[in-house]
Amino acid sequence: MGNPVRIAIIGAGSGVFSLGLVKDLCLNSNLRDSEVCFMDLNRERLDIVHNLARRYADELGSSLRFEQTQDRERALKDADFVINTASARTHQAQRRERELTAEHGYYYGGVNLHTPFENFDLMLSVAHDVERICPNAWMIQSGNPVFDGCTLMHRETMAKIIGLCHGHYGYLYICDVLGLDPKRVTWEAPGLNHCIWLTTFLYDGSDAYPLIDRWIVDGEEFWRTNVAKTTHEKQLSRGTIHQYRLYGLMPIGDTPRTQATTSNWWYHTDLATKKRWLANRSADLTVPRAHRRRRSASKSNRSRCREKSCSSRSCRSGSTWNGHSRPTAAATARCCCGTSSSHTRRAATSRPSRFCKRS
């Protein structure tokens, strides 16, 4: 049995994240009698999260104690752990930004009007307060951008900082759909900032990627009938499988839907296209028309095949991706330029994890 600790949650107004965290804390017997302090500038959201957390803990019979405050210094006083989920931009500001860009023809995040510097400033401010008020506490950074922010805080402060990203747990959804026992799965999914890839996926010690390949054969029925439980049923969506075919690895977590890290803007040109690729509602895995036009127009200036005579980008990826065809599930025997398969993409069942590990 562990000793009780004090945990401060900065930016606790996110009901989904905070309640998920409360559930984990309540179910951890080592944290019995610990104290959780919710801190947020928005009083209304703070009250809601605090009341829901107390009710949840009571129903579970947890001995966790909760308090709330809008004063960051009060929240940090005597803290053993500080979880920072705060964002400098409000939900209202983010929504207004999307509406403004939509007025000019850019769908939902098609162009960004902000930079991460405002969040960097907030992260540094919290880290400096941790240094001053609770220097022995561990600060767990959960708000994005995690990697960049943690790098900055490590360089500029002496606070003890850990970056936390939960996206890699997307492998569990794959196990669930494929009917695999997670206890018998060996996996590795390195990455950061919504750019995470399943480099190792073994079941009972054997390569489990062929199980994904077999599932894809009947995937259309899943996409046609499955009802998404969240806004994005992203982990085995059409967009996810499309990226798997392009890159030879399964994207994990938010990777399939994040434009900034995987340049997959073609999934987000409009709402209908987004639903088609990320919400399991469409006809097939054809390439969006806007994507075909743009790729065809710019392919001559893009990366070329290793064969000097071939101008198609598809040779580099090993699939016919030159503006008029869709990727295949496995590498073809010959490239679209007619050269041998020595420079084609490796088959989907051939895992590149050995290339990702340190030499």
The enclosing domain of 54 has a CATH number of 3.40.50.720
Cα 289 from Cα 266, distance rounded (Å): 9
- Reply yes or no on whether 168 is catalytic: no
Do 338 and 280 fall within a single domain? no
Catalytic residue among 78, 166, 176, 204: 166
Question: What is the Rg, in whole angstroms, of the alpha carbon atoms belonging to the chain?
Answer: 23
User: What is the per-residue pLDDT for 262?
Assistant: 56
Contact between 21 and 51 (Cβ < 8 Å): no
Residue 61 belongs to some domain of the structure: yes
User: What is the per-residue pLDDT for 261?
Assistant: 56
Instruction: Single out the residue of 38, 39, 40, 33 nearest to residue 65, CA to CA.
Output: 33
Q: Taking 80 as the threshold, does the pLDDT of residue 142 lie above it?
A: yes
Do 183 and 255 fall within a single domain? yes
Task: Name the domain boundary from 164, 191, 222.
Answer: 164
Residue 353 belongs to some domain of the structure: no
Do 251 and 301 fall within a single domain? no
User: What is the per-residue pLDDT for 125?
Assistant: 97
pLDDT mean across residues, the chain? 76
Task: Name the domain boundary from 119, 149, 164.
Answer: 164
User: What is the per-residue pLDDT for 138?
Assistant: 98
pTM of the model: 0.69
Residue 273 belongs to some domain of the structure: yes
- Reply yes or no on whether 254 is catalytic: yes
User: What is the per-residue pLDDT for 76?
Assistant: 98
Task: Name the domain boundary from 244, 261, 285.
Answer: 285
Do 247 and 196 fall within a single domain? yes
Q: Taking 70 as the threshold, does the pLDDT of residue 41 lie above it?
A: yes
Residue 280 belongs to some domain of the structure: yes
The domain in which residue 214 lies consists of 168-285
Catalytic residue among 50, 129, 194, 254: 254
Q: Taking 60 as the threshold, does the pLDDT of residue 316 lie above it?
A: no
User: What is the per-residue pLDDT for 291?
Assistant: 37
Query: Could you tell me the pLDDT band of residue 66, with boundaries at 50, 70 and 90?
Result: very high
Domain count along the chain: 3
